[in-house]
Structure 1
């Protein structure tokens, strides 16, 4: 995924309403009316959200008579998943290094005797 497209997709998904719309469309196409139902925002606001998702390439909108339906573009979601998956090896390596460091520190801490002060026999 090229950087401009990635920026558009991430910017579109930065809004919680748009993320919920994408989640809903992941279950199948829906009318604009159905998509706007769960939100306490105006129809023009929903239309703007849908426009942002469409420009980012995440959804398509079609007119069927008086109905407008929206559909998720799974290939764009797959591209995003691929980009995120590409980050995983680096993060796995970082977490493995952190785990090794913590294990070393635990080993050192458990090997170091702790002093709790003199015993009763020593103080007599």
Structure 2
């Protein structure tokens, strides 16, 4: 199966997201996926098997648990396949970054200008009679 076929399934993409921070136990993965996608534990196991067989995750037994972690082989294959197409989004993303920075700078300057133009607030006058 091609790396992009593996990543084409939203359940498998979500499993990878759950595993990215480090190792994740199969039970916790199955519970989260069952809640989010409404699929059974055996169905989640099938997705884990596809990810494992295609080099996207590794599994390590620890007692009765199975801990899954990202295997860089699968994501690397997907990245290598996509790299010739990067030129189609690299420029627009760089332009987006420039526009975001420009907008942030304009907001900061406007806030500073407003603060400089705002008159200092006088201290509130105390109109109460003195306490004897």
**What range describes the TM-score normalised by the shorter chain of this pair?**
0.5 to 0.7
Q: Which residue pairs with 2:32 in the alignment?
A: 38
Q: What displacement does 1:87 show?
A: 1.4
CA contact (8 A) 2:58 2:69 kept: yes
Secondary structure in 1 aligned to 2:32? coil
Task: Extract unaligned runs of 5+ from structure 2.
Answer: 93-132
Q: Provide closer, same or farther for how the CA distance between residues 73 and 25 of structure 1 changes in structure 2, counting only shifts above 3 A.
A: same
Q: What displacement does 1:66 show?
A: 0.4
Q: Which residue pairs with 1:22 in the alignment?
A: 16
Instruction: Work out the number of aligned pairs and report it.
Output: 86
Q: Which residue pairs with 2:45 in the alignment?
A: 47
Q: More relative contact order in 1 or in 2 (CA 8 Å, sep 6+)?
A: 1
Q: Which residue pairs with 2:4 in the alignment?
A: 10
CA contact (8 A) 2:25 2:65 kept: yes
Q: What displacement does 1:31 show?
A: 0.3
Q: What displacement does 1:88 show?
A: 1.9
Q: TM-score, structure 2 length as denominator?
A: 0.58
Distance (Å, rounded) in 1 between the aligned partners of 2:12 and 2:20: 12
1:83 maps onto 2:81 in alignment: yes
Q: Which residue pairs with 2:61 in the alignment?
A: 63
Q: What displacement does 1:76 show?
A: 2.7
Distance (Å, rounded) in 2 between the aligned partners of 1:88 and 1:8: 19
Distance (Å, rounded) in 2 between the aligned partners of 1:58 and 1:72: 6
